[in-house]
Structure 1
Amino acid sequence: MNSGMFFVRLLLLLIIYPSITYAQQVADTASLFRNPLLQSGPDPWVIRHNGFYYYMHTTGVDIVMYKTRKMSDLGKAKQVRIWTPPAKGPNARDIWAPELHRINNTWYIYYTAGSSDSIHPQHLFVMENKADDPTTGTWVDKGQLKDPAADNFALDATVFKYKGQHYFIWSGHNGKDNLQRLYIARMQNPWTMATHRVEIAAPIYDWEKDGIPVNEGPEILESPKGDIFLVYSASACWTESYALGIIKLKKGADPLDPANWTKMPTPYLTTNKENGAFGPGHNGFFKSPDGKEDWIIYHANSKAGQGCGGHRNPRIQKINWQPDGMPDFGVPVSINQPIRKPSGE
């Protein structure tokens, strides 16, 4: 090779190589996202159906739904206000923790609301929609969902299917004290309980009692091995002790028997000041688009002292599974730290 040809090739490499590097940097950046997904979003919930994720959170005054193909792009998602409460009645105000569930090819939203004529009487309500896309169609009020024998303060309802039966889990009072406990009942249909409530958990550890003793925000997580975990939030939501705990259901056992639920003695997701995550809790779970990864969504405050209000924002991160089958949520990922997007996005 003569010297002239060598210098020509060297010049071409110097021109092309930076372009390749830049293209790789663009590709890498496109595969990353940062928390939080929104500036505000207490009590986040998400479910996937027909290639779309449907996301909701507490607004306090109505129910709004987001629709997106990619959870990392939630901030760009279409928003639809699907329900505004009546001016008066049992579900007129303090609209909290809506959850969307698909049961027997029909959509149901379970939410918490207060009465217009009382100070703070939160109860649980349900709406139904037969449209395939829950941002369309008509939402029909199915009324309050309750145990007639124990119509006490109640909030944070969720539903899960187990051995062909649907079960209803929520947080509430027992009518004797103000401890927020976790209850379960089998469902007759999506708006009616078939059994009376059974208490499966109460705040017993010190980390569950900061502010006031609380167990709330119950959510079900199934492991790749088929184990059933109930993940819940503990301590008062306005404290920085707010954290996630785990209760495990004995494999194959009856969920209506309290003895079949074992509460883990330590929390599984807690405040991390260095990462800008104060009071992480009230979570949900979802699969990546390709179904290969489990992810958790939860809210946290970005600064200390922000309390139990609109400063709480939604964050997501991948779940790892330990060899013993227990979930590993890790520590809250630092806000604005680049994170690899869910697999398949």
Structure 2
Amino acid sequence: MISARRRRGAATSLWPVLASVVLLLAGCTTESAPPEQPPPASIIATVTVPPSSGITITAEQLSNSDPCGLLDSQVLSKFGDAEIEIDFRFTGCNGEISSPAGDQVRISVGFDFDLSSLSMAPSIRHGVTVYRDGDPNWCRRSIVVSPAAAINLAVAADAESTRCQVADAVLDAMLPQLRQGQLTPANHPPNSLAKLDACRLLNHTETHEVPGIDRTQVYPGYNGHHCTWGKETVSDPHVYVAFNRSFPPEAKSTGAVATTIAGRPAVVDPFAGGENDSYRTLPDCNVEFAYRPLDRPSGVRTVELVHVGVSFDGPEKARCELATALATKVAERLPS
């Protein structure tokens, strides 16, 4: 629009300029536009061992099931006072036992793309192939459902002799479900983060704003609950979006700032990075914001959380401004 403050004769002087612009644009049409950057390729971890024999459940069943349905409270109670609690992951569940002797036992069961340990050896238990390892601190058992789906069970205990005793008791209780193909369905509400795909909340043009990022790779997490663009290491520039369950965000660490993202309580938390003899951790900035409250029978106030972070060499202000901008885009794309 031409300002009303311009002289009346100024309008006629625009025509030679416009004509020059038209000629200039016409001359540019012979040049081809730069090619659009192709989207990155998805890199998904796969199990390097054969699927377990003797089970009938499918990977699709597993992805839609409740991991707490694989922990039997009556079995845990045989070893002491027992509690079962949801994990921070949507695909995990935890148990805790206090034995009469005062020993503490911690149980974790979760679903993932691959095994919890690369050194697991197969064995047959009640007709099912079970993978186990020799970790000195945990007793681990895994069931391979498909090349990209596994059930991982781990037990830690003060008394070393108790670990595998509890692990095998928990395993024996869940095997009938796996053999019969009967899993407890997950009960997430329609607007839960558990039903979303983190990789769909940002596009590769937006994530490529991170300086030095590898534009050819993206790493989806199991069930879509986290996603990393760029190389999935702390030493390389990357962007990540992750969902979990925890307490409402608080600015506890040095430099963390409480704020809001699209009207939601949030914290912006920069990290200066570091290095040791083996590798270097790049500086990053993480933004976490609350999405929805969880209805907990225990009354503990917890929420579904979204984490958006960037990692690259650069000023803290630039890192956190980019992380905040990306987190805002993510928040605006979530179901209301």
Question: Which category of TM-score, normalised to the shorter sequence, fits these structures?
Answer: under 0.3
User: Could you tell me the TM-score, scaled by structure 1's length?
Assistant: 0.27
Calculate the TM-score normalised by the size of structure 2. Answer: 0.28
Larger Rg: 2
More helix by share: 2
Q: Which has the higher strand share?
A: 1
